[in-house]
Amino acid sequence: MSIMEASLISMAPLLLRNLITSLFIFADKCLAFFSQNSKVFEGLRYVILSSFLFFLRILPSFFPSLDPPEDKYENGDRYVPATVGGGGGATGCTGDSGIARALSQLLSIVNDIPVSSRKYEVVRSLAERIIDENLSENDDALRDVNRTVLSAAFARTLSQLEAAMLDQGRGFGSFTSVRNGEPMNGTAEVQYYFLLSRLRRAVKYCSDRVWLRGRSSDELNRSASSAEKLAAELLWLAQKMAACGSIEEAASRWASASNLAWLSLTTEPRLQGFIVKISAFLFTQAKDMGTKKDDETKKEQDRQTKLKMLLLWIPLLCQASMGTDAPVLSIKERGELEKVLEDVIEALGNQEDQEKVLSLWIHHFTYCPSSDWPNLRDCYTRWCIASRRQLLRSNSYICCI
């Protein structure tokens, strides 16, 4: 069996899920439109929705590769461990102390109420005050309260952002030129995925036309603004987590947000800008993550987290950095982030991992005509030199033997 045949077979379950999901979205939106005036269509829609959810639940048992390895779900929400960010003795603190419950409630309300509400800033400032005062007390228990509650809020907001982006009707199950974090090579394989992408776009186009008829312009605007609001709140939560010493948790969540990364490639430019800012902040904060630890296991976990972040978010950085009316990042910010990305890539150590990241970068950097950033050419050149030297040393060693 050839490498291409093996890779296509391994991707078959994922392609099946994406195709069925696209067809389901099309059918559901059609039925939602017709069910407004018909009980029969409403009942049929309920049966199809229940069957589809049951199908998604049992599918991972037949194809384990479809089951997310890191994010587990409980009662429909993302499950967050009781102890987060290395805090010992914080078990259950979210429900065991009044201050933790108050902060959790405030952060939940921040997610729920619109920015236009005059009480939004009141609630958010109350939450921020509690977080800052917990930090100022310099007490481990209060720091653990911050870490645990903020981690839960970050996971919840991330999940809500994914849902809001799906509600915009854009990009679900997008086939990009990256598969499993690696760019596709070979004419036949690229053509195969190109045809599948064309099929997905056709299904999406039909479903969007039906879906848009059933929704007013006000509803569509609210959906877009809701996603932008959640993205802005996600950045705020990441900044608070960094201040509380739990950047590792935020980086790990961001490194596992593969659905969000796919959706972000085809979402609105303004929303892309918010997501680029989140990525830029987390890359900057995670640069030194694990470099000062003595625990080799934890250092390797942090290294893997940074590798996943690079493979997941470099395509978006290449595509969305320029923005629409104005650049997403200033010239200074872009230069600083380029240096951060180079440092993170070179700190991976393993040349094969560096090759994965840099081959992904050169692919998207080349095929994104609207952007010439991030320019990692110097990093790519240094990797080529190191790779060449490694080959020469290997050949010299063989000759000596």
- The pLDDT value recorded for residue 400 is 62
Q: How far apart are CA 301 and CA 286, in angstroms?
A: 12
Give domain status of residue 170, yes or no: no
Q: How far apart are the first and last CA of the chain?
A: 35
Question: Mind listing the pLDDT tens digit for each residue in 118-155?
Answer: 899 999 999 999 999 999 988 889 999 999 999 999 99
**Per-residue pLDDT for 72 more than 50?**
no
Q: Are 182 and 175 contacting, i.e. CB atoms less than 8 angstroms apart?
A: no
Give domain status of residue 100, yes or no: no
Residues 6+ apart with CB under 8 A from 159: 77, 78
User: In terms of residue numbers, what domain contains 21?
Assistant: 1-67
- The pLDDT value recorded for residue 196 is 46
Question: Mind listing the pLDDT tens digit for each residue in 316-336?
Answer: 999 875 555 566 888 899 999
Question: Mind listing the pLDDT tens digit for each residue in 349-366?
Answer: 888 999 999 999 999 998
Q: Mark 59-76 as b/e (b = at least 16 C-beta within 10 Å).
A: eeeeeeeeeeeebeeeee
Phi, psi (5° rounding) for residue 150? -65, -35
In the DSSP assignment, the letter for residue 184 is -
Mean pLDDT of 99-115: 92
* Orientation of helix 120-136 relative to helix 217-243, angle to 10°: 10
Per-chain mean pLDDT for the chain:
74
Give domain status of residue 292, yes or no: no
What's the CA angle centered on 279, arms 277 and 280, to 5 degrees? Answer: 65
Strands (E), 254-329: none
Question: Mind listing the pLDDT tens digit for each residue in 13-52?
Answer: 555 666 666 666 666 666 666 666 666 666 676 667 666 6
Written as six digits, the tokens of 334 are: 């872009």
pTM for the model stands at: 0.66
Give domain status of residue 398, yes or no: no
Give domain status of residue 29, yes or no: yes
Give domain status of residue 387, yes or no: no
Tell which wins on pLDDT, 393 or 312: 312
Question: Mind listing the pLDDT tens digit for each residue in 171-208?
Answer: 344 434 444 444 444 334 434 444 444 445 444 445 44
- The pLDDT value recorded for residue 391 is 86
Sign of the CA dihedral with 362 first, then 176, 66, and 162 last: positive
Q: How many structural domains does the chain have?
A: 1
- The pLDDT value recorded for residue 290 is 74
Give domain status of residue 243, yes or no: no
Q: What are the start-end ranges of the H helices in 118-216?
A: 120-136, 140-167, 187-213
Give domain status of residue 347, yes or no: no
**Per-residue pLDDT for 255 more than 80?**
yes
